[in-house]
Structure 1
């Protein structure tokens, strides 16, 4: 009996297992990285012997580790660890000063920045001359938080060969002045054109980026992620960390499919990635499709034209017949589809093509995902449940802030604005869903995201601050499920993670407060005292004695 004693027990917790068969407990026993028993303090303590490690949770809330199913872990970690963070800039002078100050601290030829807010900066106020004023003699490249916009100074344009003679690439564009000369502002896949002409980072820089990102994940209770866009470089880095025993999150990943690829080439490329990178903790399991861009730069595809004076619309980024063939082929090959949709037309086209694939290949538990779903036509909401399609939602964005009130709502009008981020309506249909961050577009910290999901208001405002579509508020239970059981299912690891159930991995977190009981406006300040990945401690807050 002694040889079967658990390696670790955690007792005196307020454990919410997220397992409906045993929803509450005081203690949990772990052996070889997995939960072996869950129950009362006395029952679990009786299983231990002198070699068993013991953690006293002090009556605090214990949950399964959270899973972020749409995060750019490696790229954002690398960006924030090797570039200037521009998230705090709220005007041109602040943006310039951050870039200017950072240029003095780096020896790299290129001055890089990440995180500028496209709700404030854009074609009306940001161009190469603005960046020249900050750093005129070195190339400057800054990437927006939304991942769909970037900007360069004149030196960077010269070094990459960007001038009036360069045509817009498929799926992207260079903003130009009235003479056709690029202004330095870059949209969508034109960003790839620029990056291909910039110096390449060494793999060590990306390894450092993952270390930075996963440490942040663990600090905030995240034990599993779905990297929302990878290529072979990403997977090489992840595998290297896994083989070194340094990976502290479970990783699923989705690889991008490009509009110009044939079905055969795209499927072959992703099948090779899936074969090559599949282990206990890392796997490529899905195909990523961008069907449109974002409202902020008018590349979101809408059913009806934009409502403001400029009007117009944006196309789907794929030939729609080709997209149908791609969806059918990837679905038949048992890839999950992970589809970026912002406008209501992009969402409808995605659902139409998923439905076509299902009619030909039959239904299977794919849990294909629509990421973002910023605007959806109400007629399409019931189709999410009917087709078993996951809404991968980022609730932090559903609040009154400039990107919503000053840009999106004027672009689409009040009638369509009612169906912007309609999370509760979708959840109450019984459709599958998951909650995520899209870091580095925004924070990866789940607790401000949860608070916004529940309040539909920004943090640190008065409680009477305008609420964005109050009828779409979620409750805490719904958001926690979106980060645990439902996220695990969406990442195709629900059989081994997502709840504290005997046989599953002992991925768990201890919180400094009961987020189910506190004032909703205090959820965002929650701190994680302890994070375990397979029973291994990957984060401990300084003040947690445990």
Structure 2
């Protein structure tokens, strides 16, 4: 893989694969031999008590035995692959509960700007990229940061000064806005008289004369434009997914929830269907139907059911309606209960007002469809909870699994409502870090210190007995793909600092730090619960799917500032090996080695 952001460093570990003696084979129950047996490990089940054992047996795609080393002997036959873990940790595969792999793969096809921290560096990179690709009809890219600009955002003139004869279309690192040049505005037919897609929520930033400045704010303003640039076909998505999904498997991810491909989901689903048909899908892939406007909300249930009927398969599972109900604090489009400190006339805005959101949730509850509501600001979270409560009162249904995601700013009185309503809190543990030493200053400027110091209150959610699932939100996280891995998230969730940098500024409050055990559960069982799949995945239990990973270190004992460096050595999804960093992986027949020699 060529992209620097999707590269992973490969580490090896020499393990041997043994089988038992012929005598033991004769005593084994007929027809019950396992395909795999792992012994001599620290096998964490990821149940509520963090139970651990030593060995696990797997037949086809299912866990068939768990126990001490000697308790799995009968599952070993002449063709069983028996792995000596040598004290390594084995646990359930990670469940990534909020990520955008299809979008990320598409964004990886253009110029990458994530590594640049100044406008000068971005301009130099664009100029160089343009010169290297003289025949590209448009310059497409990803990764510039909002914190490089004043609240009025980037301007088309800055891009015009570098590239003026071709359209330039650059998506921000949070994937919530785009920066385009004058040529792009002309091609996209966005001018002074062009109406905003959703005024105040999804819009084209304008100067005092009403002319578009080149900043397209929120998804409805820019995602639908991609096909006009010749981007977003099913082949584009397939190419991108083939690059990114093996890397996610190398992180130990065995199941994921794609939180949306705005306006292009059918192309992405077609690509996923082809990958599964080609036996080239290394993860269990849950998808969402992404609602981009109040108009789309009216038909969201019908549209979701149509997608579910057309695309559901063993590994591709349409699972929820995604409602992106506000923007971001950085762009001052998140909906707040109090105005932004630096712009007291602005409190942000929601995409669906209280009445429309409630109506949609009533329809979803009536049809038994789960929802996934984007809420960065405290007003958005408050209104989402109101809508869920109103829907439950109206329909009498409390078995629908509503998830509110991100939850950057939430009042404590609203946090206390989650558990009573059965609402899942989905958060990104990678977020509470001062990645570029600028985010916290920006938050203080926009929110004031009081609110800036009460963001990402993960510990408060857990204290209030809320089920909290974890996911990176890549590529909207603002870092590279590697920096969005579960182990990076676990370190940041534990320290609230930049991974590997113990002297970096910890995002307040330190009291909101979460234990490694709680973070591991958030990345396994709780994610499975969000996806209504906790009976199949998320923990190790006889009869569940064989989704397992082997780590080179035990996260529960490794120094906290080294958690990010913990390597996943082996990933298995449904009994299929999807990632392997094990060197000299030997397969021996049952007559070669007695199991008793392994477990001395």
TM-score w.r.t. the length of structure 2 is: 0.87
Q: Does the aligned pair in 2 maintain the 1:169–1:193 contact within 8 Å? A: no
Which position in structure 2 is the counterpart of 1:446?
486
CA distance in 2, matches of 1:338, 1:356: 17
Among 51, 54, 75, the alignment partner of 1:23 is 51
State the distance in 2 between where 1:459 and 1:483 align: 18
Call closer, same or farther: CA 1:125–1:273 in 2, change over 3 Å. closer
For the residue of structure 2 that corresponds to 1:229, the secondary structure is coil
Task: Please give the alpha-carbon distance, in whole angstroms, between the structure 2 residues aligned to 1:464 and 1:160.
Answer: 43
Q: 1:65 aligns with which of 93, 100, 103?
A: 93
- For residues 313 and 92 of structure 1, the distance between their equivalents in structure 2, rounded to whole angstroms, comes to 28
1:377 Cα deviation (Å)? 1.1
Deviation of 1:277 (Å): 1.9
Alignment pair present for 1:304 and 2:338: yes
Superposed counterparts of 1:29-44, under 5 Å: 29-44=57-72
Looking at structure 1, the residues matched to 88 and 165 of structure 2 have their Cα atoms a distance apart, in angstroms, of: 55
CA contact (8 A) 2:127 2:162 kept: yes
Contact preservation (8 Å) 1:296, 1:403: no
Output the CA distance in 1 between the equivalents of 2:281 and 2:542. Answer: 24
Correspondence for 1:276 among 310, 314, 318: 310
Deviation by residue 1:205-263 (Cα, 9 ceiling, x = unmatched): 21111111211111111010000014222221111211221111001111112433266
Alignment of 1:40-59 (within 5 A): 40-59=68-87
Contact 1:378 1:419 in 2 (8 A): no
Match in the other structure for 2:131:
104
Q: Distance in 1 between matches of 2:338 and 2:566?
A: 42
TM-aligned CA deviation for residue 465 of structure 1? 3.7
For residue 463 of structure 1, report the CA deviation from its aligned partner: 3.7
What is the CA-CA distance between 1:72 and the residue it aligns to?
0.5
Matched, 1:398 2:432: yes
Paired with 2:213 and 2:299, the residues of 1 have a C-alpha distance of 35
1:367 and 1:544 map into 2 onto residues whose CA distance is 45
Pick one of 209, 220, 242 that aligns with 1:179: 209
Which residue number in structure 1 is paired with residue 38 of structure 2?
10
Q: Is the 8 A contact 2:440 2:452 kept in 1?
A: no
- In structure 2, what is the Cα distance between the partners aligned to 1:463 and 1:506? 40
Between stretches 110-119 and 331-340, larger displacement belongs to 110-119
Q: Corresponding residue for 2:593?
A: none
Measured after TM superposition, the shift of residue 281 of structure 1 is 1.5
Alignment match of 2:451 (pick from 392, 407, 416)? 416
- 1:456/1:470 contact within 8 Å kept: yes
* 1:430 is aligned to 2:458: no
1:206 corresponds to which of 233, 237, 243 = 237
The 10-residue stretch of structure 1 (417-426 or 396-405) with the greater mean CA deviation from structure 2? 396-405
Deviation at 1:264, TM superposition (A): 5.3
Q: How far apart are 1:339 and its partner, in Å?
A: 0.2
The answer to whether the Cα contact below 8 Å between 1:123 and 1:185 also exists between their aligned partners in 2 is: no
SS of the residue aligned with 1:98? helix
Q: Is the 8 A contact 1:11 1:45 kept in 2?
A: no
Confirm whether residue 115 of structure 1 aligns to residue 146 of structure 2.
no
**Matches for 1:289-438 after TM superposition, within 5 Å:** 289-308=323-342, 310-401=344-435, 402=437, 404-438=439-473
Task: Give the equivalent residue in structure 2 for 1:455.
Answer: 495
SS across alignment from 2:569: strand
Q: CA deviation at 1:22?
A: 8.2
Higher mean C-alpha displacement, 221-230 vs 159-168: 159-168
* C-alpha displacement of 1:500: 1.2
Task: Supply the distance in 2 between the matched residues of 1:226 and 1:464 (Cα, whole angstroms).
Answer: 31
| TM superposition shift of 1:73 | 1.1
CA distance in 2, matches of 1:261, 1:355: 23
Counterpart of 1:541?
581
Quote the residue 2:556 is aligned against: 516
1:414-453 CA distances to partner (integer Å, 9 max, x unpaired)?
A: 2223331100010111111101100111343111111110
Aligned to 1:498: 538
Residue 252 of structure 1 aligns to a residue in which SS?
strand
Compute the displacement of 1:459 (Å). Answer: 2.3
Match of 1:226 among 240, 257, 260: 257
Q: What's the counterpart of residue 194 of structure 1?
A: 225
Shift of 1:542: 5.8
| 1:133-173 alpha-carbon deviations (Å, 9 max, x no partner) | 33232211110121111111122122112222222221311
Contact kept? 2:526, 2:538, Cα under 8 Å: yes
| 1:352 match: secondary structure | helix
The structure with higher relative contact order (CA 8 Å, sep 6+) is 2
Give 2:591's aligned residue. Answer: none
Asked if residue 142 in structure 1 is aligned to residue 142 in structure 2, the reply is: no
Tell me how far apart the structure 2 counterparts of residues 544 and 146 of structure 1 sit (CA, whole Å).
41
The answer to whether the 8 Å contact 1:291/1:339 transfers is: yes
Matched position secondary structure for 1:224: strand
Structure 2 segments unaligned to the other structure (5+ residues):
1-28, 587-600
Task: Give the alignment partner of residue 285 of structure 2, picking from 251, 255, 270.
Answer: 251
More deviation, 124-133/279-288: 124-133
Asked if 2 retains the 8 angstrom alpha-carbon contact of 1:70 and 1:225, the reply is yes
Q: Per the alignment, do residues 207 and 193 of structure 1 end up closer, same or farther by CA in structure 2, a change over 3 Å counting?
A: closer
Deviation for aligned residue 1:370: 0.5
Equivalent-residue separation in structure 2 for 1:233 and 1:489 (angstroms): 28
- Is the 1:301–1:342 contact (alpha carbons within 8 Å) kept by the matching residues of 2? yes
Computing the radius of gyration from Cα coordinates, the structure with the larger value is 2
Q: CA deviation at 1:271?
A: 1.3
TM normalised by structure 1 equals: 0.95
Shift in Å at residue 88 of structure 1? Answer: 0.5
In the superposition, relative to structure 1, how do residues 438 and 467 fare at CA in structure 2: closer, same or farther (>3 Å)? closer
- Structure 2 Cα separation of the partners of residues 156 and 172 of structure 1: 18
Cα distance change on mapping 1:307 and 1:294 into 2, 3 Å = same
454-463 vs 121-130, greater mean Cα deviation: 121-130
